[in-house]
Amino acid sequence: MNRKKLVYVGSGAAIACVVFIGGLLIGRFAITRPGDNIEPYEEGQRALWNQYKQQFLELVNAQEIEKNLR
């Protein structure tokens, strides 16, 4: 294979890779999906989650964690 033809094939393959990766990135970040704007929790679920989170944080004690790690 002559050198000029090899350069053309290599350049074409490199351009194809760049275009393919660019298309993937555009598809991932530029196009919005229908589920992107939906709130993950309803109001009742959010209140329950906050209640559980608060109970957990009240149970966590930094001195106990430090004692157990020693």
pTM: 0.44
SS3 category, 31: coil
Strands (E) in the chain, as ranges, are none
Residue 40 pLDDT: 62
- The domain ranges of the chain are 1-38, 41-70
Q: Which two tokens stand for residue 43?
A: 């109001």
**Residue 3's Cα: distance from chain center in Å?**
43
38: pLDDT confidence band, cut at 50, 70 and 90? low
